[in-house]
Amino acid sequence: MRDRYAATRTLHAWATDGTPVALGERLPRFRPSPARGEMAESRTFRMAGAQSPAGCRGADIRRAQEVGSSERCTVSRPRQSARELFSPADSRVGQAGSRWADSHDRLTVEERSWVEGVESWGGRFPVNGIINLLDRFPTHNLGESTSQDLVFGELLDVIGMDAVRDLRLGYGSALGSAPLRDRIADISAVPADHVVTTQGVGLALFLLAFEQCRADDEVVITTPCFPPSRDALTGAGVTVIPVPLNFDDGYRLDVDKIAQRLGPRTRLVSLASPQNPSGVRILDSEVEELLRAMERKAPDALLLVDEIYRDATYGDEPTPPSFAALDPRIITTGSISKAYGAPGLRVGWMTVADPVLRARLTVAKMNIVLSSSVLDEALAERILAHREQILAPRCTLLDEALKVLAGWQAQHQHLLDWVRPDGGAMCCLRLRSDHFDDSSVARFWERLPENDIQLGAGPWFGESPSVFRLGFGYLPLPDFHAALKRLADTLHDVRD
């Protein structure tokens, strides 16, 4: 996994006296080092002992250059051995490798831009800094969008070992396990034969992009959004038409604005409810109005509603009904990754009313992964069978943490605005422009890794760098308090 993203490029740097320094080459075994917003490739650099100038100290290296590159990036250098590393990231959006900050000297290096370097990336899918979340584990982790991790032992205590002891580890079915599909059908209020399981919603997004759409087709998607919701489409060669929703309007769906972008080539309209990163839910009336507009202007289009955060409610609020049964043009997606805290099981699903499209998606899935993991699916089925028990403590924590966050925001409202979420474990906050100009916004992003804080950067989702996503469902409450305190200190340090 990590090696997949490791860099193969060489970075050259100059010490202040002009002495060239070869900073790096690909180092396997280490973390990928993304990335700026949309542009940069993940890279891992090392300062190899033999290549480092004798006695070179962090502050000595002022400049680095890589053909086709010029973003700012921070490099960590081990004190003793020249083993490794590193890292990111654009000063506006990136998050440097804070994990190693204690044990490494830190060097700041300038590279030439990767913005123009997109052509040298050569990947089908744009690189997005959100990949950082998979590989960095800062103490003050406010970047996560999931509820607290479900621990395997905790799950076994609930379901018992007998639930899986006799499981046969052969291939699963292409559609997905029948008992799991029954459970999903039950919580989505559709027949079981509408359900196809996937390896997370991630795979569902990919399958839809490649199977529902063709190269010249158009997909209308609201932003800010989860990056792969858009990038899977880009990877499929589809024309992506983003419709930006506004922070100042509380990220409410603007149906008129979407309708203006619909046309005969639209094959899909892509939404999420609650949305990532804002946690704002879409109303039934908004979906109904949108369907009417689609009927008039985009008769061949389907509507995707990604419901991955549907179960992440606050306290004992009931889970809102799925959109799956509302109209046969609606495809929904869901998974056990967020509210249930089990993204490591890689189980998700789609509900698809059209039997022909469903068959095509199943064949596409079979061609890519054959089937899902039978063990993952068996565990997912048990998780859904015990859903109240697994959700209850997580939804309680979401409720408590949201109250803490609301109080914290009120206390810092002169510095930050926010959009209060309706559901999900995350929401958006914005640095106020009267206290944060461009350079203090840049300083803010630079300072986060130094302070061991992780947030979701606005540009990952198609938003401005003044906006960030804050996850409030992952850390235990005392740690959440500590993280907010550290974040407040950072805001005070960098404000104008």
Ligand X SMILES: Cc1ncc(COP(=O)(O)O)c(C=O)c1O
* Chain contacts with ligand X (rule: CB under 6 A): 145, 200-202, 226, 272, 276, 306, 308, 335, 337, 343, 348
Nearer to ligand X, 85 or 272 (CB): 272
Nearer to ligand X, 24 or 138 (CB): 138
**Distance from first CA to last CA of the chain, Å, rounded?**
41
Q: How far is the CB of 347 from ligand X (least distance, A)?
A: 8
Q: How far is the CB of 335 from ligand X (least distance, A)?
A: 3
Nearer to ligand X, 145 or 177 (CB): 145
Q: How far is the CB of 344 from ligand X (least distance, A)?
A: 9
> What token pair was written down for 120?
């040298």
C-beta nearest to ligand X: residue: 200
Q: How far is the CB of 226 from ligand X (least distance, A)?
A: 4
Nearer to ligand X, 208 or 401 (CB): 208
Q: Are strands 140-141 and 330-335 parallel, antiparallel or unpaired?
A: unpaired
Nearer to ligand X, 11 or 207 (CB): 207
Neighbours of 156 (CB within 10 A): 14
Q: Are strands 218-223 and 266-272 parallel, antiparallel or unpaired?
A: parallel
Q: How far is the CB of 395 from ligand X (least distance, A)?
A: 18
Alpha-carbon gap, residue 44 to 93, rounded angstroms: 18
Q: How far is the CB of 275 from ligand X (least distance, A)?
A: 7
Q: For the chain, give the longest Cα–Cα distance.
A: 71
Nearer to ligand X, 347 or 415 (CB): 347
Nearer to ligand X, 160 or 344 (CB): 344
Tokens 């804050």, located at residue = 470
Show Cβ contacts of residue 115 under 8 Å, excluding neighbours closer than 6 positions: 39, 70, 71
Q: How far is the CB of 189 from ligand X (least distance, A)?
A: 20
Q: How far is the CB of 133 from ligand X (least distance, A)?
A: 8
Nearer to ligand X, 76 or 362 (CB): 362
AA identity, residue 443: R
Nearer to ligand X, 117 or 227 (CB): 227
Q: How far is the CB of 204 from ligand X (least distance, A)?
A: 8
Q: How far is the CB of 72 from ligand X (least distance, A)?
A: 27
Nearer to ligand X, 111 or 306 (CB): 306
Q: What angle do CA 308, 309, 312 make, to 5 degrees?
A: 140
Q: How far is the CB of 376 from ligand X (least distance, A)?
A: 12
Nearer to ligand X, 176 or 202 (CB): 202
* Contact between 265 and 216 (Cβ < 8 Å): yes
> What token pair was written down for 414?
């002169």
Contacts of 212-218 with CB under 8 Å at 24 or more apart are 212/267, 212/268, 212/302, 212/357, 213/238, 213/267, 213/268, 214/238, 214/267, 216/265, 217/265, 217/266, 217/267, 217/268, 218/263, 218/265, 218/266, 218/267
Q: What is the CA radius of gyration of the chain?
A: 23
Q: How far is the CB of 86 from ligand X (least distance, A)?
A: 25
Alpha-carbon gap, residue 418 to 427, rounded angstroms: 8
Show Cβ contacts of residue 130 under 8 Å, excluding neighbours closer than 6 positions: 227, 456, 460
Alpha-carbon gap, residue 167 to 161, rounded angstroms: 11
Q: Give the dihedral sign, CA 480/228/174/357.
A: positive
Neighbours of 20 (CB within 10 A): 12
Length of the chain: 496
Tokens 């196809």, located at residue = 196
> What token pair was written down for 167?
């499981």
Q: How far is the CB of 296 from ligand X (least distance, A)?
A: 28
Alpha-carbon gap, residue 117 to 190, rounded angstroms: 46
Nearer to ligand X, 110 or 306 (CB): 306
* Contact between 364 and 370 (Cβ < 8 Å): no
Nearer to ligand X, 343 or 459 (CB): 343
Alpha-carbon gap, residue 275 to 281, rounded angstroms: 6
Tokens 């002169």, located at residue = 414
Q: Phi then psi for 112, rounded to 5 degrees?
A: -80, 160
Residue 131 to residues 30, 149, 246, 308, 440: CA-CA distances in angstroms? 14, 18, 25, 19, 25
